[in-house]
């Protein structure tokens, strides 16, 4: 084993520009693996930067993949935040994956769920299970999953056992598509599909596909 008390490594793209960087307070090297404490990782995208902090990490020198552990916080330069306790970064696909509980915040939307795949450069995320989404000012949406959020297309898709709650009603459906206003990130339109049931002030109404 080789012990070092500060650690820094960078990756370069085809134009020889820095596209990612890692640094830590201490590291131990075992074969192709570098075990890092107090990790700070930075990924430089075309129009945004992702910075990730973690208590511990394992960097694979051969694949350039990173295994992140404990108190993981990721922040993008355009205002998103991700919090979890375990995740993996795949250098080839540029994807972050985890089977743990995850919290993501962006402007007026807060998402919670279990299991996640995200590609920060393309600004999309998929939650696998047990999804809860709060949208300011007064809307809460839950579903069994999966749930997909695409900030390029300004669309969110909820699947399976979807329940929409606001101050006046509850709506149940198999699938919900939320269209977001690209300027404000607020809801522009909702479209429900499949086994739609609306409960409004104690009255229950079964409906087909509705848009509101």
Express each pLDDT in 150-208 by its tens digit: 988 999 999 999 999 998 889 999 999 999 998 888 899 999 999 999 998 777 777 66
Strands 124-135 and 109-119: antiparallel
Q: How confident is the model at residue 129 (pLDDT cuts 50, 70, 90)?
A: very high
Placement of tokens 């279990």 in the chain: 114
6-28 pLDDT, tens digit per residue, is 788 888 878 888 888 999 987 78
- Round the CA-based radius of gyration of the chain to a whole number and report it: 20
Q: From the CB of residue 21, how many other CB atoms can be counted at a distance below 10 Å? A: 15
Which pLDDT value is given to residue 55? 97
Q: How confident is the model at residue 122 (pLDDT cuts 50, 70, 90)?
A: low
Q: Domains of the chain (ranges plus CATH)?
A: 1-92 (2.60.450.10), 93-212 (2.60.450.10)
On the CB side of 35, CA atoms within 13 Å amount to 7
> Which value, to the nearest 10 degrees, does the dihedral of the CA atoms of residues 45, 49, 55, 58 take?
10
143-162 pLDDT, tens digit per residue, is 999 999 998 899 999 999 99
54-68 pLDDT, tens digit per residue, is 999 999 989 989 999
Sequence-distant (6+) residues with CB within 8 A of 162 are 141, 142, 143, 172, 173, 174, 175, 176, 192
Which pLDDT value is given to residue 47? 83
Which pLDDT value is given to residue 190? 94
């Amino acid at each position: 084993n080789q012990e070092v008390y500060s650690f820094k490594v960078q990756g370069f793209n085809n134009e020889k520009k820095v596209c990612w960087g890692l640094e830590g307070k201490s590291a131990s090297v075992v074969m192709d693996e570098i075990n890092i404490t107090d990790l700070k990782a930075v990924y430089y995208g075309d129009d945004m930067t992702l910075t990730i902090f973690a208590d511990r990490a394992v960097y694979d020198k051969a694949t350039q993949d990173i295994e992140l552990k404990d108190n993981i916080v990721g922040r993008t330069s355009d205002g998103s935040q991700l919090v979890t306790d375990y995740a993996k970064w795949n250098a080839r696909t540029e994807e972050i994956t985890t089977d743990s509980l995850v919290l993501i915040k962006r402007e007026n939307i807060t998402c919670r769920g279990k299991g996640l795949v995200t590609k920060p450069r393309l600004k999309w995320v998929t939650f696998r299970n047990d999804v809860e989404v709060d949208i300011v000012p007064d809307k809460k949406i839950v579903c069994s999953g999966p749930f997909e959020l695409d900030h390029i297309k300004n669309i969110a898709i909820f699947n399976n056992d979807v329940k929409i709650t606001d101050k006046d009603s509850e709506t149940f459906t198999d699938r919900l598509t939320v269209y977001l206003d690209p300027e404000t990130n607020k809801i522009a339109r909702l479209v429900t599909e499949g086994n739609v049931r609306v409960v409004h002030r104690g009255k229950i109404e079964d409906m087909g596909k509705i848009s509101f």
